[in-house]
Structure 1
Amino acid sequence: MANEDLHRFCHAIPKVELHCHLLGTVRHATFKDLAQAANAPLSDEELDAFYIRGEKPVGVLKALRTLDAFMVRTPDDLHRIAYEYLEDAAAHNVRYAEFFWNPTGTVHKSGMRYDFAQDALVRAIRDAHTDHGIIGRLVPAIDREASPDAALEMIGWITQHRRDEVIGIGIDYSEIDRPPEMFAQAYAAARAVGLKTTAHAGEFGMPWTNVRTAVEMLKVDRIDHGYTIIDAPDYAKQCAEAGIVFTVVPTNSYYLRTLPPERWALDHPIRKMPGLGLRIHPNTDDPALHHVTPTGAWQKMVEDFGFSIADLRGFMLNGLASAWIDESTRTRWRTEFLRDFDSCRQRESRDF
């Protein structure tokens, strides 16, 4: 399949997005607008540097912290960011998106009340559905660089101000020296009020045992990243048998920084995970900062990691299997997604 044919195909196929951070979706122009409105102490050169994606990318987490600390100041700011993300995703035929938001940063750094912020994000979800047909769902994420008490505080906010569009929790920011077990109490509290759960684990080269802890102690429904699971084939087999889906990111910065450019695509854990029986699903993570779109993420699975069109079909089904939707919707979407995927395949990839 020629590159342009593959691009058209990956653009046209129906998608769900399950691993995307709201503040990593901010358009460059929007970032500048927010900085100007907030009179942020950031030069144009510093701002532009967040959007430079070199051979060894850095600065994604710093960009997210900068937004919380200096730029996101009103509910309307959050509405704009979320609406623009969903608008952009819908343009790539993402039909359903679960996206992460860090309330601890919003409340304690941006100085915004949780309920005001949540209402703005829910309004954005509803507006984007009306305007673009995409269904969005909000996943508040524990700030693992904050304290376990802050995580419990977040669960309390969610419980007190429960909305239908808020369906589960995650955990994000740097995993280094912040193992999953630190937040077991918050995860138990989330499960007790009926929230779904996922967790970043096995990212940043952190040990595979963090994946095991997330599965067995936090009792998550799925794993975000999870790459170091390849270091434990026996446990990977258990995860495969349990049907746990790993939401992977083809543009993950850690491996771009640590693997030689000529070996990156060959040695990346994503390439090895399905061979261990693991169910994976590709996502954008921080699309604006990673210079990737949903189309591009799926295209990279073929171009960089050598997966086939048939593999993409399976990845699509993995996403539907692990999406936090009711079973009747899952069954209906499975039929619709398979029909549309196969139609795209017939139209764009007759030689495959």
Structure 2
Amino acid sequence: MTPASLDAFLHAIPKVELHCHLFGTVRHATFSELNRRAGSPLAQDEIEGFYTRGEKPVGVLRVLRALDAQLVRSPDDLHRLTYEYLQDAASHNVRYAEFFWNPTGTVHASGIPYRAAQEAIVRAIHDAQRDWRITGRLIAAIDREASPEAAVEMVDWVLANRREEEVIGIGIDYREVDRPPELFIEAYQRARRAGLKTTAHAGEFGMPWTNVRTALDLLQVDRIDHGYTVVDQPDFARECADRGVLFTVVPTNSYYLRTLAPERWAMDHPIRRMPGLGLRIHPNTDDPTLHKVTPTQAWAMMVRDFGFGLSDLRGFMRNGLDGAWIDDDRRRAWHAQWGAEFDQLRERHLPDPSSSSSGT
């Protein structure tokens, strides 16, 4: 298997994206344009740092927060960001994308009312489906750096402006440090009672595996975003495997790039160990422009960095379909169609039978 043939194959396979943040998808040109329009509150080196992979020269969270506080000013801005993200994802054959948006920042920092913001994003979802044949679905994300009361407020906005087809659930993002899942139990209870799907970032930033347990058992989420520290407790990992929990993992997660030695990063990363514990994983971009990664590259890292083979990738694709918040008829149809397409693309791009053996 040559690098070019592998890349062509991974570009062509059908994909779902289940873990991506809208503000982490902003194109470089769009970010610069929004900054100029606002009078350049961010220095050029701050913007360039946002698009630098590895050790960031400036605080990434400051730049992300600047989008809410200074750059995004109208519903049309949100429409643009959403449409551009879905166009970029579709160019890598992502056919279905569930992506996060932080309404608390939009309402309280950008000053855009929730209904107007949501309608702009939903309009972009429809426009992208028409133009690029990609299905987009929105997950309203709790800002875990805000208060638990703000989380409840956010869920109430979603419920008062319900768009059941396009706005399908809630999640929680930003820094997990000192903001454990149990702080937000009331918001999750309200969402679940109303029939919203739920997920949570847990076990990221090196935070303990107990946060994963809390998210599953107390918040009762449908899946886990990141979840890497579950490998620190094999008994609990086996329980998660038995329960069929899906972990939406991110090969470019920056915590392990910062904390593991460069020569050991790929060997010691928890993603490499998770399937061996029986855990169901699915690779995602998280923040594609921030992490300098495309959906194709995220899948390629699973092979090149973590040693998985094509049969593993086929399983990861199935995991994503099983974990996606779609109806069962669509799930069954996509399982059959995408599995056949995967096999056909493998024959076309990687005809050597030895290339299909597992790398685990």
Q: Give TM class, smaller chain.
A: over 0.9
The CA deviation at 1:349 is 1.0
CA contact under 8 A between 2:35 and 2:71: conserved in structure 1?
A: yes
Deviation string, structure 1 residues 127-183 (Cα, Å, up to 9, x no partner): 000000000000000000000000000011000000120000000000000000000
CA contact under 8 A between 1:56 and 1:253: conserved in structure 2?
A: no
State which drifts further: 47-56 or 12-21. 47-56
Deviation string, structure 1 residues 176-232 (Cα, Å, up to 9, x no partner): 000000001100000011000000000000000000000000000000000000001
Output the CA distance in 2 between the equivalents of 1:15 and 1:34.
Answer: 30
CA contact under 8 A between 1:10 and 1:299: conserved in structure 2?
A: yes
Output the CA distance in 2 between the equivalents of 1:336 and 1:57.
Answer: 44
Output the CA distance in 2 between the equivalents of 1:60 and 1:93.
Answer: 28
CA contact under 8 A between 1:102 and 1:141: conserved in structure 2?
A: yes
Matched with 2:115 is: 115
Output the CA distance in 1 between the equivalents of 2:342 and 2:73.
Answer: 41
CA contact under 8 A between 2:101 and 2:138: conserved in structure 1?
A: yes
**Residue 270 (str. 1) matches residue 271 (str. 2):** yes
Q: Provide structure 2 residue ranges, at least 5 long, that are not aligned to the other structure.
A: 356-360
Output the CA distance in 2 between the equivalents of 1:160 and 1:55.
Answer: 42
The CA deviation at 1:306 is 0.2
Output the CA distance in 2 between the equivalents of 1:44 and 1:226.
Answer: 34
Specify the SS of the correspondent of 2:179. coil
The amino acid across from 1:72 in the alignment is V
CA contact under 8 A between 2:49 and 2:57: conserved in structure 1?
A: no
Q: TM (normalized to structure 1)?
A: 0.99
Matched with 1:75 is: 75
Output the CA distance in 2 between the equivalents of 1:55 and 1:350.
Answer: 39
Matches within 5 A, 1:131-170: 131-163=131-163, 164-170=165-171
Deviation string, structure 1 residues 114-135 (Cα, Å, up to 9, x no partner): 0000000000000000000000
Deviation string, structure 1 residues 60-99 (Cα, Å, up to 9, x no partner): 3222111111100100100000000000000000000000
Output the CA distance in 2 between the equivalents of 1:275 and 1:58.
Answer: 37
Specify the SS of the correspondent of 1:78. helix
Q: Provide structure 1 residue ranges, at least 5 long, that are not aligned to the other structure.
A: none
The CA deviation at 1:55 is 4.5
Output the CA distance in 1 between the equivalents of 2:48 and 2:202.
Answer: 30
The CA deviation at 1:53 is 1.4
The CA deviation at 1:37 is 1.5
Matched with 1:196 is: 197
Q: TM (normalized to structure 2)?
A: 0.96
Output the CA distance in 2 between the equivalents of 1:254 and 1:54.
Answer: 10
The amino acid across from 2:141 in the alignment is A
Output the CA distance in 2 between the equivalents of 1:278 and 1:171.
Answer: 22
Matched with 2:100 is: 100
Specify the SS of the correspondent of 1:167. strand
Output the CA distance in 2 between the equivalents of 1:311 and 1:73.
Answer: 43
Matched with 1:336 is: 337
Output the CA distance in 1 between the equivalents of 2:348 and 2:187.
Answer: 48
CA contact under 8 A between 1:144 and 1:178: conserved in structure 2?
A: yes
RMSD value, Cα: 1.0
CA contact under 8 A between 1:56 and 1:257: conserved in structure 2?
A: no
The amino acid across from 2:219 in the alignment is L
Output the CA distance in 2 between the equivalents of 1:54 and 1:340.
Answer: 35
Matched with 1:223 is: 224
Deviation string, structure 1 residues 240-263 (Cα, Å, up to 9, x no partner): 011000000000000001001000
Aligned residues: 352
Specify the SS of the correspondent of 1:288. coil
Output the CA distance in 2 between the equivalents of 1:17 and 1:49.
Answer: 25
State which drifts further: 106-115 or 49-58. 49-58
Matches within 5 A, 1:227-242: 227-242=228-243
The CA deviation at 1:45 is 2.0
CA contact under 8 A between 1:38 and 1:73: conserved in structure 2?
A: no
Runs ≥4 in structure 1, deviation > 6 angstroms? none
